[in-house]
Structure formats: C-alpha cells, structure tokens
C-alpha cells in the first residue's frame, strides 16, 4: 500500500505536482495516467525518496521510504531503463544491487531467468537494445521479491511479444496480492492491464476511480446520422423529442437512442439517410478530454478533481509462490 | 553495522566490475613509475654538472617521485569516474533507491575507492622509489635513510588523498566532464603556475597538491615553506575533508 498525502513538488514557480492525495492498494494493478509532463515521473521519484517533496508525504506500508530496512525487499521500481552503467554486465549490475540489500546472489540468476536475459548475463549493458534494457530494469525491480512494484512506462521500447509479457507479468504480480503501480501516457495500454486508475494532469489529481467506472462514465456512445435533408431530419428528431448535436462534417450526433429506432423514424418520414452508425468514443478520447480540461481547472484554480469513486474490493490473495524458496532460506539463516 | 557491510560489498562489486578502474589505476602506476625512472636516470647523468649548492639540495627520493605529478591525474580520473559516472549514467537513482541513506551510500563508495587507491598508491610509491633509486645508482637513497620511509609511505597516502579529494569534488559537481574540466587544469597547470609565480607563491603553497607533496621530500635545504612534511600533509587532509563535506551536503540536499 502506498499513500500519498498532499504531495507537492515545486520547481521555481512551476508546480510539477500539486497537492496529490491518493492511495495505491495491494492486489490490483493501478494505472497512473497522465499526458507527458503531467508529473508522473516526479511523483514516482518522490515515492522513492529520490526527490524531496516541497510539501506532503509518501507512506509505504505506513513508513517513509528512508525508514525501510533493505528497501528493495519492500519496493521494486523501474524508473528509467537507461539508468544503468553501460560498462557493467547485467549480472554485475544486479549483483551490486542485491548485495546492497542483503539479497543472495542466487536470486540474481533467478530474476535474469524470469526476464529472459540469462544468455546475455555476462554481456555489458552498453550493447543492450531498448527492450533488453527494459527487461534488465524489470529484473532489478523484481530482485528483492517486493510487495510493492512500481513501473514507469514499462512497455516503452518493447516489441509486441515483450508488451504481452509485461502485461501478463504485472497482472500475475497483482494476483499474488502485491501492489502494482504502473505509469503510462497511453490510455489504451492501461485499459488492458489496470483495474484502478489514477489520472493526473499538470500535477493535479483528475480522477481516482476503478477502470470499470471510468469506462462506464467516459465511453460515451451515440449514433451518427447524415442525410442530404439535414434540416428536415433535425426537425423530425426535435418533433420526436430527440436532441441532436451537430457532429463533424455536417452529421448529427444523437445520444441515448438506438440506431434501429432512429432509422425507423427517418423511414416513416421518408428521409433519405446516407449514414446511420452507432459510435463509441474511445477511452483514449475520454482520457484526452479529461486531461485537456485540466488546463481549465488549473486556470480557474477550482476543485477540478473528480470525487474518487468507491474503492474496488481488493482480493487478499495468498502470498506468492514466487521467490518464496529463497526467502525461506534466508529466514532460516537469520533465525 | 549490517547495512554498511552490505553497501561496502555492493560498492566493491561496482568498482571492480567496470573497466575504467583497471585502466585508470593501471595508467597511474605505469606513468608514475616510468616517468620517475626516466627523470631519475637523467638526474644521475646531470649530477656531475650541478653546482655544490645544488648537489647539497639533491633529493634522490623526491626525484624518483617526479612522475607523480602526471600519474596523479590518472587517480583523479579514477576518483571522478567512481562518483560522477553514477550521475552521468543515471545509475544514481537506482543506487539511492537501493540505499536511501545517502550518507552511508557516499561513505561506502568513498571508503572502497580510497582503499583501492591506497593499495595502488602504496605499490606505486614503493615501486617508483626502488626503480628510481636503481636508476640513480650510487647517487640514490636508501629506504633506511632518515626520512626516506616517511616520504615513500607519504607518497602512497598522497595518492589516496588526491583520489578522495577528486571524489568530493565530483560529488559536488555531479558530472564527469565538469569535474575533470575543473580538476585536470587545476592540478596540471594552475597549481604549478601559482606556486612558481612569486606574487602568488604564498597562496600556491597552501593548495592541496603542493602542501601534500611536501611529505615526499627528504632533503629540505633552503626550504621556506611555513610547514613541515606532516604539516603540509595535514593541510591536504583539510582540503580533502572540505571537499568530502561539500560533496555530502550536495548529495544530501539535492534531488537525485
């Protein structure tokens, strides 16, 4: 569980993150969505105590990141896949991280195997492709078998197979009861993986809602009608008490009526139709509408944030099978 | 403390797993010893032409350390790369996420690199002394002569301190290019110029390298420095302490 409270970061007179308050719950994938420059990476850096907040706090399972003992065993993060020394081999990169948190070296081989980099483990990271670098970053995040995982734009640079792999991995990690927090600027990507959404724009919270709610609320469906007798069609519709909004390129958009009913209505009045098509605004459009509004909210300085939707039940899944053996080993050694 | 031991092990892995460590330290040894040997050989041949006054001031130990002025640059590069490469590669964010106690992180990194620089520095210092004395032949000094062992051990310590100083500067400037751009000209040119121009000589004597190198001198005739070998060494230690405190404060305060 990650709790942000009034988290604020100011660079000069620009607010990068503006009083962000939200909670990231375990057991589900939480998508952290916002356009480029919305403050996602800054927020994630503050979560890891890399950047100091101007005000506000981040609590990881109730504690400040700095107070965590061997933090990689609690939080695994992929912030920037390029953030590695290119002259070091993949194995040594992971080994130095493991050693700093008392993680046994055997675990390094395990995660290299998980991400499929075993064959290039001794190669210097300099020669890695973007996708391989991303996999190495993910291996580093998994190293401590943490309860909380944070990924900043994890699908960047991955091929379709890699994208599928990371989606499956994230869902699997969440199903094991872990907290999975993933940022993206692509709504379509989030729609496939995230169960919960936190949307920010210009550093402000715009939505904190379950994905199902977001889809229900935002994927507006309507029927697009086009006719050479546009004026008559409009009169007939208003005569029937149906509101029609002018759509793009001279069409009419009708919300709340089904296409069959509208077609019959037009036929009854002998109106020729050139188009009668049910439309569904994509989530991407809904997301763009939401974030575009953030500019206005900002200017008005009003309370632009939508009220958080009811929290979905978080399945309290049993502890993972994943990495349990070496954890057990260690516990044995410590006691 | 358990955490410190873990981080020391991690930093040792980091240091030994990059090629620049071997290259920089290796260059330091080779340049210092080779140049020291060359200058010692030249000094031996030149001895006959020296005036009695100069013969009196002839310091075979210090002559054998003549390569250190150039060789120290390699250790400066080593110190800068150990710290500043964390920033230039972005590794610093991964490192600090693993070790959020920034003081522990910096202390362990500096401790490992210093220990390595000290070992390499001692080897270099003894090697360059023995090779240099061999070149000087009957004009050479013996390790048992008064002050000679102090000078040779001091040479190794000097190399470790110059590395520490560079690491502090790199932690403040956070960029390898910027750090080298400041340190290289400073130690290679500016420090020598300041120490050799009479108007700035007094200032030059208090610079870290000039003060620190005093410990390597054995024959101190008509030496007007206001400090002795260990006094000069102490001045250098103060410089190192200042640079490390500065580096620590910057790391502690700034966003990674």
pLDDT digits (tens, 9 = 90+) for B183-203: 999 998 888 888 788 888 888
Q: What angle do CA A61, A62, A67 make, to 5 degrees?
A: 90
Interface residue B149 vs chain A (CB under 8 A): no
Smallest Cβ–Cβ distance between A85 and the set B91, B99, B255 belongs to: B91
- Domain containing A191: what range? 2-217+285-334
Average pLDDT over residues A320-324: 41
Contact B13 A85 (CB under 8 A): no
What DSSP state is assigned to residue A119?
G
Mutation test of the interface with chain A: which of B94, B105, B256, choosing the one with the most A Cβ atoms within 10 A? B94
Asked whether B160 and B78 are in contact (CB, 8 A), the reply is: no
Shortest alpha-carbon distance between residue B66 and chain A (Å): 33
Mutation test of the interface with chain A: which of B12, B14, B18, B97, choosing the one with the most A Cβ atoms within 10 A? B97
Per 3-state DSSP, chain B is made up of helix, strand and coil in percentages (nearest 5) of: 85, 0, 15
Contact B17 A50 (CB under 8 A): no
Query: Tokens representing A311?
Result: 């929290």
Average pLDDT over residues A1-14: 94
When mean pLDDT is compared across A80-94, A180-194, A237-251, B42-56, the lowest value belongs to A237-251
- Grade residue A324 by pLDDT with cuts at 50, 70 and 90: very low
Where would I find the beta strands (DSSP E) of chain B?
none
Instruction: Using an 8 Å CB-CB cutoff, list chain B residues near A84.
Output: 89-91, 94
pLDDT of residue A295: 52
Contact B100 A89 (CB under 8 A): no
ipTM confidence: 0.91
pLDDT of residue A64: 95
* CATH at A74: 3.40.50.300
Flag whether pLDDT at A114 surpasses 50: yes
Reduce the DSSP state of residue A196 to 3 states and report it: strand
When mean pLDDT is compared across A49-58, A197-206, B98-107, B223-232, the lowest value belongs to B223-232
When mean pLDDT is compared across A99-103, A212-216, B7-11, the lowest value belongs to A212-216
Average pLDDT over residues A243-252: 82
Residues A198 and A183: their CA atoms lie apart, in Å, by: 9
pLDDT of residue A216: 77
Interface residue B251 vs chain A (CB under 8 A): no
Smallest Cβ–Cβ distance between B93 and the set A50, A75, A85 belongs to: A50
Contact B89 A71 (CB under 8 A): no
Q: From its phi and psi, is residue A256 left (phi > 0), alpha (psi between -120 and 50) or beta?
A: left
When mean pLDDT is compared across A122-126, A179-183, A275-279, the lowest value belongs to A275-279
| Residue reference for tokens 């049993």 | A318
Task: Indicate whether A53 and A149 sit together in one domain.
Answer: yes
Contact A49 B96 (CB under 8 A): yes
Q: Which residue of A has its CA nearest to B21?
A: A87
Mutation test of the interface with chain B: which of A43, A97, A121, choosing the one with the most B Cβ atoms within 10 A? A97
Asked whether A143 and A111 are in contact (CB, 8 A), the reply is: yes
Contact B85 A89 (CB under 8 A): no
Interface residue B18 vs chain A (CB under 8 A): yes
- Per the model's pLDDT, the better-predicted residue between A321 and B197 turns out to be B197
Residue A136: partners with Cβ closer than 8 Å, 6 or more residues away: A81, A84, A90, A93, A94, A115, A117, A125, A128
Interface residue B109 vs chain A (CB under 8 A): no
Q: Which residue of A has its CA nearest to B85?
A: A85
B206-247 pLDDT per residue, tens = 999 989 999 999 987 766 778 899 999 999 999 999 999 999
A136-148 pLDDT per residue, tens = 999 999 999 999 9
Residues A43 and A201: their CA atoms lie apart, in Å, by: 12
Contact B94 A88 (CB under 8 A): no
Instruction: Using an 8 Å CB-CB cutoff, list chain B residues near A45.
Output: 93, 255-256
pLDDT, averaged across chain A: 85
Task: Indicate whether A225 and A115 sit together in one domain.
Answer: no
Flag whether pLDDT at A317 surpasses 70: no
Task: Indicate whether A229 and A128 sit together in one domain.
Answer: no
Nearest to A60 by CA among A102, A23, A6, A31: A23
Mutation test of the interface with chain A: which of B5, B6, B91, B98, choosing the one with the most A Cβ atoms within 10 A? B98
Q: What are phi and psi of A147, to 5 degrees?
A: -75, -25
Interface residue A150 vs chain B (CB under 8 A): no
Average pLDDT over residues A193-206: 92
Task: Indicate whether A56 and A179 sit together in one domain.
Answer: yes
Reduce the DSSP state of residue A44 to 3 states and report it: helix
Contact B97 A102 (CB under 8 A): no
DSSP letters for A21-42: EEEE-TTSEEEEE--TTSSHHH
What DSSP state is assigned to residue A252?
E
| Total residue length of chain B | 256
pLDDT of residue A302: 41
- Per cent of chain A over pLDDT 90 is 56
Flag whether pLDDT at A174 surpasses 90: yes
Instruction: Using an 8 Å CB-CB cutoff, list chain A residues near B256.
Output: 45, 50-51
- Grade residue A314 by pLDDT with cuts at 50, 70 and 90: very low
pLDDT, averaged across chain B: 93
Task: Indicate whether A235 and A126 sit together in one domain.
Answer: no
Q: Which residue of B has its CA nearest to A71?
A: B98
The interface residues of chain A toward chain B in range 203-242, judged by CB-CB distance below 8 A, are none
Shortest alpha-carbon distance between residue A4 and chain B (Å): 18
Contact A45 B255 (CB under 8 A): yes
Interface residue B89 vs chain A (CB under 8 A): yes
Task: Indicate whether A229 and A110 sit together in one domain.
Answer: no
Shortest alpha-carbon distance between residue B104 and chain A (Å): 11
Give just the sign of the alpha carbon dihedral A326, A331, B1, B3: positive
What are the extents of the domains in chain B?
2-253
Q: Could you give the number of structural domains in chain A?
A: 2
Smallest Cβ–Cβ distance between A50 and the set B19, B20, B96 belongs to: B96
Average pLDDT over residues B6-14: 97
pLDDT of residue A138: 94
B114-159 pLDDT per residue, tens = 999 999 999 999 999 999 999 999 888 999 999 999 999 999 999 9
Flag whether pLDDT at A296 surpasses 50: no
Task: Indicate whether A89 and A235 sit together in one domain.
Answer: no
Residues A72 and A70: their CA atoms lie apart, in Å, by: 6
Task: Indicate whether A7 and A49 sit together in one domain.
Answer: yes
The domain boundary residue, chosen from A251, A280, A309: A280
Shortest alpha-carbon distance between residue B84 and chain A (Å): 11
Contact A101 B13 (CB under 8 A): no
Q: Which residue of A has its CA nearest to B92?
A: A83
Contact A85 B14 (CB under 8 A): yes
Task: Indicate whether A242 and A211 sit together in one domain.
Answer: no
Smallest Cβ–Cβ distance between A101 and the set B17, B98, B256 belongs to: B98
- Per cent of chain A over pLDDT 70 is 87
* CATH at A265: 3.30.70
pLDDT of residue A293: 67
Flag whether pLDDT at A315 surpasses 80: no
B35-64 pLDDT per residue, tens = 999 999 999 999 988 888 888 889 999 999
């Amino acid at each position: 569980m990650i709790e942000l409270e009034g988290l604020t970061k100011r660079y000069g007179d620009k607010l990068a993150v503006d009083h962000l308050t939200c909670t990231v719950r375990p057991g589900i994938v939480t998508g952290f969505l916002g356009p480029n420059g919305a403050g996602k990476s800054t927020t994630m850096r503050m979560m890891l105590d890399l950047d100091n907040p101007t005000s506000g706090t981040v609590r990881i399972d109730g504690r400040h990141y700095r107070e965590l003992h061997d933090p990689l065993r609690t939080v695994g993060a992929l912030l920037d896949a390029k953030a590695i020394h290119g002259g070091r081999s993949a194995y040594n990169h992971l080994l130095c991280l493991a050693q700093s948190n008392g993680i046994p070296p055997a675990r390094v081989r395990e995660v290299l195997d998980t991400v499929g980099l075993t064959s290039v483990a001794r190669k210097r990271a300099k020669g890695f492709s973007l996708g391989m670098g991303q996999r190495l970053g993910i291996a580093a995040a998994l190293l401590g078998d943490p309860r909380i995982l944070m990924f900043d734009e994890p699908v960047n640079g991955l091929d379709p197979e890699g994208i599928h792999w990371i989606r499956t991995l994230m869902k699997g990690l969440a199903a094991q009861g872990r907290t999975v927090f993933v940022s993206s600027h692509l709504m379509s990507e989030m729609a496939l993986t995230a169960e919960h959404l936190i949307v920010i724009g210009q550093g402000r919270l715009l939505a904190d809602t379950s994905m199902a709610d977001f889809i229900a609320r935002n994927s507006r469906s309507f029927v697009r009608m086009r006719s050479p007798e546009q004026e008559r069609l409009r009169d007939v519709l208003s005569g029937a008490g149906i509101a029609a909004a002018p759509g793009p390129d001279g069409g009419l958009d009708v919300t709340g009526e089904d296409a069959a009913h509208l077609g019959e209505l037009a036929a009854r009045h002998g109106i020729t139709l050139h188009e009668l098509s049910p439309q569904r605004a994509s989530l991407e459009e809904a997301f763009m509408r939401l974030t575009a509004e953030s500019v206005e909210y900002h200017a008005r300085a009003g309370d632009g944030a939508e009220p958080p939707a009811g929290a979905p039940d978080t399945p309290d899944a049993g502890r993972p099978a994943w990495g349990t053996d070496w954890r057990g080993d260690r516990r044995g050694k410590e006691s | 403390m358990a955490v410190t031991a873990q981080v020391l092990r991690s930093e040792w892995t980091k240091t030994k797993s990059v090629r620049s460590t071997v290259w920089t330290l290796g260059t330091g040894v080779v340049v210092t010893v080779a140049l020291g040997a060359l200058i010692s050989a030249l000094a031996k041949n030149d001895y006959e032409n020296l005036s009695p006054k100069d013969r009196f001031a002839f310091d075979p130990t210090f002559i054998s350390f003549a390569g250190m002025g150039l060789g120290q640059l390699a250790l400066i590069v080593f110190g800068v790369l150990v710290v500043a490469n964390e920033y230039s590669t972005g590794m610093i964010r991964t490192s600090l996420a693993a070790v959020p106690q920034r003081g522990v992180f910096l202390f362990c990194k500096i401790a490992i690199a210093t220990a390595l620089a000290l070992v390499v520095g001692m080897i270099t210092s003894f090697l360059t002394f023995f090779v240099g004395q061999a070149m000087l032949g009957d004009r050479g000094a013996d390790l048992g002569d008064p002050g000679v062992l102090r000078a040779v051990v001091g040479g190794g310590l000097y190399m470790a301190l110059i590395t520490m100083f560079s690491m502090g500067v790199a932690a403040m400037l956070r960029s390898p290019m910027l750090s080298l751009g400041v340190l290289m000209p400073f130690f290679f040119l500016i420090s020598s110029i300041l120490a050799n121009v009479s108007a700035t000589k007094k200032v030059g004597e208090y610079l870290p390298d000039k003060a620190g190198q005093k410990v390597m001198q054995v024959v101190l005739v008509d030496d007007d420095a206001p400090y002795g070998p260990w006094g000069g060494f102490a001045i250098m230690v103060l410089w190192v302490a200042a640079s490390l405190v500065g580096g620590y404060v910057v790391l502690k305060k700034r966003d990674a």
